[in-house]
């Protein structure tokens, strides 16, 4: 908890090092103080291994609740298992996902023996690579745990059922989500009640369910609810950027930034805080985001639609924690700085997509033969080409275009909305250019309709700021006119004008100043 407060106390709000340099040093010489380069995880998988599953008596797997006894042959080792269905919408599609429970723990991935594993069908992903790539990128971030993966060719009761992704179960444990004894693994899941899971709705209507422990007693539920509500009170409070009392005193800011960037890069449909959004909390500790999960509907594919590689999704789709965090200019700058760090890793991942496709191509083509069409109406947006190679090419081009789009120069206000007394006389409003490589630009701004009257309550001169070479911060001044009358608080709303500016905008692009009268 202390590292976030210390950093905010220094005046930037979320990251040390590179972010602080970006925010305070003019011009392009922001390399000083840059943290060491991020080591990329390997984005080329191993060759898919054959995985043979046989249920007792050859009975079909028809339930997500009831396990079926059986055996599994993988890597030359026969194991006794239980297996059932899993997933929500994915369970309704022809190619089914499964959960496996081993009779004896085994290290199918990593070195720690575990008993529970997941087989992802990736039916909606005709390239089969989206979840694998997202998890490989996640392994290069500061998230405490990212599920490991390996491709397998599954034969179920003698029938080939296609290419699957074997992954860790998202659960507490060594080499998985490692928490103190009294820690909690939680999920944002709007379906928790209909699924029979323990959970609660926070004060700001966030649906929180318990993953581990999944049957918490009343005292534990109250502790978690209290922690989430305290965080939300700080996050949505008027002093939410304060380093001691604001949001940063409740969360692991670095995990929120890295989780966000992976989700936003892939434009993951489930990243808007409805389901499959995981976080952790321990008494006396911070709320931390992760692990990542569920990327089959991402990178150009959405429910019953396609998605453009341009435009923000995670930060704006719905009213949730990430959306609110971007009201803090310091958080926005920190995200941009971290993205600059991760961009080389992302570029390497994208460059390796053809090699990854080459490894899985024989299995993927067999999978296409088994499941030749994605006919479900809600998955029409998943069809981008008529061939596997065409789908891989679409995915690579989409991610490459999005990475460029997310690296654009951006303009933001350098302050959050606030209150100010009339006798202050002047409001100085910094506008910042966040850029990897600075270039001269003009940024336009407007005064939106508010309860304060221009010319009577305030005066602002001009409507553009010109950033010359070596400048990344300019200040516009708004003069408060003291009329000495007894009136209530009045608002002035400033907006950056995207259409008239020579640079795209980011959040916050609108700030509201509430003028408190002297007599109040």
- 257-305 pLDDT, tens digit per residue, is 999 999 999 999 999 999 999 999 999 999 999 999 999 999 999 998 8
Same structural domain for residues 286 and 330?
yes
Burial class (CB in 10 A: 0-12, 13-18, 19+), 455: exposed
Q: Quick one: pLDDT at residue 485?
A: 63
Same structural domain for residues 340 and 203?
yes
Same structural domain for residues 314 and 451?
no
Which stretches of the chain score pLDDT less than 50?
1-33, 519-520
**Cβ–Cβ < 8 Å for 397, 368:** no
User: From CA 120, how far away is CA 480, in angstroms rounded?
Assistant: 60
User: From CA 130, how far away is CA 150, in angstroms rounded?
Assistant: 13
User: From CA 331, how far away is CA 415, in angstroms rounded?
Assistant: 11
Q: Which two tokens stand for residue 9?
A: 């106390």
User: From CA 459, how far away is CA 258, in angstroms rounded?
Assistant: 41
Q: Quick one: pLDDT at residue 100?
A: 98
Same structural domain for residues 322 and 417?
no
**Cβ–Cβ < 8 Å for 348, 59:** no
Tally of structural domains, the chain: 3
Same structural domain for residues 119 and 184?
no
| Number of neighbours of residue 360 by Cβ within 10 angstroms | 25
Q: What is the DSSP letter of 469?
A: T
Same structural domain for residues 263 and 339?
yes
User: Among 131, 130, 123, which residue's Cα sits nearest to residue 92?
Assistant: 123
User: From CA 177, how far away is CA 288, in angstroms rounded?
Assistant: 11
Q: Which two tokens stand for residue 18?
A: 């590179």
End-of-domain residue from the set 117, 139, 168: 168
Residue position matching structure tokens 């409003």: 429
Same structural domain for residues 315 and 458?
no
Q: Which two tokens stand for residue 86?
A: 């899993």
Query: 377 phi and psi, to 5 degrees?
Result: -60, -35
User: From CA 131, how far away is CA 148, in angstroms rounded?
Assistant: 10
- Give the dihedral of Cα atoms 194, 198, 203, 204; nearest 10 deg: -50
- Whether 112 is in a domain gets the answer yes
Task: Kindly state the helix (H) or strand (E) to which residue 434 belongs, with its residue range.
Answer: strand 426-434
Q: What is the DSSP letter of 222?
A: H
Same structural domain for residues 414 and 467?
yes
217 Cβ partners below 8 Å, 6+ apart? none
351 Cβ partners below 8 Å, 6+ apart? none
How is 132-155 classified by DSSP, letter by letter? HHHHHHHTTSS-S----EEEEEEE
**Cβ–Cβ < 8 Å for 81, 100:** yes
- Whether 382 is in a domain gets the answer no
Residue position matching structure tokens 């390997």: 42
- Whether 25 is in a domain gets the answer yes
- Whether 204 is in a domain gets the answer yes
User: From CA 518, how far away is CA 484, in angstroms rounded?
Assistant: 8
Q: Which residues pair with 156 in a beta bridge?
A: 53, 159
- Whether 397 is in a domain gets the answer no
424 Cβ partners below 8 Å, 6+ apart? 480
Same structural domain for residues 30 and 136?
no
End-of-domain residue from the set 150, 168, 186: 168
User: Among 23, 10, 2, which residue's Cα sits nearest to residue 338?
Assistant: 23
User: From CA 194, how far away is CA 205, in angstroms rounded?
Assistant: 17
Q: What is the DSSP letter of 386?
A: S
| Number of neighbours of residue 148 by Cβ within 10 angstroms | 17
End-of-domain residue from the set 125, 143, 168: 168
User: Among 495, 377, 483, which residue's Cα sits nearest to residue 443?
Assistant: 495
| Number of neighbours of residue 172 by Cβ within 10 angstroms | 18
- Whether 64 is in a domain gets the answer yes
Grouping H, G, I as helix, E, B as strand and the rest as coil, residue 512 is strand
* CATH number of residue 510's parent domain: 2.60.40.2030
Q: Which two tokens stand for residue 287?
A: 């709320």
| Number of neighbours of residue 237 by Cβ within 10 angstroms | 13
pTM of the predicted model, to two decimals?
0.87
Spell out where 172-276 has E strands.
184-188, 199-201, 207-212
User: Among 126, 68, 91, which residue's Cα sits nearest to residue 380?
Assistant: 126
Query: 272 phi and psi, to 5 degrees?
Result: -95, 25
SS3 percent helix, strand, coil of the chain, rounded to 5, is 30, 30, 45
Same structural domain for residues 135 and 226?
no
* Structural domain harbouring 137: 49-168
Same structural domain for residues 342 and 448?
no
Q: Which residues pair with 490 in a beta bridge?
A: 515
Q: Quick one: pLDDT at residue 298?
A: 97
- Whether 154 is in a domain gets the answer yes
- Whether 377 is in a domain gets the answer no
**Cβ–Cβ < 8 Å for 15, 7:** yes
Q: What is the DSSP letter of 519?
A: T
**Cβ–Cβ < 8 Å for 392, 477:** no
Q: Which two tokens stand for residue 187?
A: 């999920």
Q: Quick one: pLDDT at residue 487?
A: 64
Same structural domain for residues 329 and 304?
yes
How is 156-182 classified by DSSP, letter by letter? ETTEEEEEEEEEE-S-BSTTSB---TT
């Amino acid at each position: 908890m202390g590292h976030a407060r210390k950093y905010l106390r220094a005046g930037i709000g979320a990251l040390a090092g590179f972010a602080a340099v970006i925010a305070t040093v003019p011009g392009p010489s922001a390399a000083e103080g840059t943290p060491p380069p991020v080591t990329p995880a390997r984005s080329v998988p191993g060759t898919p291994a054959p995985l043979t599953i046989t249920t007792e008596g050859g009975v079909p797997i028809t339930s997500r609740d009831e396990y079926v006894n059986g055996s599994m042959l993988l890597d030359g080792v026969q194991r006794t298992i239980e297996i059932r269905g899993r997933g929500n919408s994915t369970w309704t599609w022809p190619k089914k996902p499964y959960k496996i429970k081993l009779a004896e723990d085994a290290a199918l991935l990593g070195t720690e023996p575990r008993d529970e594993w997941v087989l992802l069908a990736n039916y909606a992903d005709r390239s089969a690579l989206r979840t694998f790539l997202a998890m490989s990128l996640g392994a290069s971030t500061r998230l405490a745990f990212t599920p490991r993966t390996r491709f397998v060719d599954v034969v179920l009761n003698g029938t080939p059922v296609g290419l699957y992704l074997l992954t860790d179960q998202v659960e507490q444990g060594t080499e998985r989500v490692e928490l103190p004894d009294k820690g909690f693994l939680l999920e944002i899941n709007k379906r928790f009640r209909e699924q029979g899971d323990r959970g609660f709705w926070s004060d700001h209507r966030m649906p929180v369910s318990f993953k581990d422990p999944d049957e918490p007693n009343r005292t534990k539920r109250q502790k978690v609810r209290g922690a989430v509500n305290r965080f939300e009170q700080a996050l949505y409070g008027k002093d939410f950027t304060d380093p001691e009392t604001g949001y940063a005193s409740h969360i692991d800011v670095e995990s929120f930034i890295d989780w966000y960037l992976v989700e936003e890069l892939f434009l993951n449909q489930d990243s808007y805080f409805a389901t499959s959004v995981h976080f952790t909390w321990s008494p006396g500790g911070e709320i931390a985001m992760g692990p990542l999960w569920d990327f089959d509907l991402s990178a150009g594919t959405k429910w019953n639609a396609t998605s453009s590689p341009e435009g923000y999704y995670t930060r704006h789709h719905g009213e949730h924690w990430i959306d609110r965090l971007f009201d803090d200019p310091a958080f926005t700058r920190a995200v941009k700085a971290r993205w600059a760090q991760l961009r080389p890793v992302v570029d390497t991942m994208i460059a390796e997509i053809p090699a990854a496709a080459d490894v899985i191509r024989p299995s993927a083509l067999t999978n296409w033969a088994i499941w030749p069409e994605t006919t479900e109406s809600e998955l029409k947006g998943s069809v981008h080409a008529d061939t596997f190679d065409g789908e891989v090419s679409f995915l690579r081009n989409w991610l490459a275009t999005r990475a460029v789009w997310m690296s654009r120069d951006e303009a933001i206000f350098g302050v959050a909305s606030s209150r100010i007394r009339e006798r202050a006389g002047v409001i100085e409003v910094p506008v910042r250019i966040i850029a990897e490589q600075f270039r001269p630009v003009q940024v336009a701004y407007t005064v939106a309709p508010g309860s304060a009257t221009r010319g009577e309550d305030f005066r602002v001169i001009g409507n553009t700021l010109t950033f010359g070479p070596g400048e990344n911060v300019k200040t516009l001044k708004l003069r408060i006119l003291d009329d000495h009358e007894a009136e209530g608080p009045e608002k002035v709303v400033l907006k950056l004008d995207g259409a008239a500016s020579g640079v795209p905008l980011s959040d916050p692009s609108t700030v509201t100043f509430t003028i408190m009268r002297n007599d109040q």
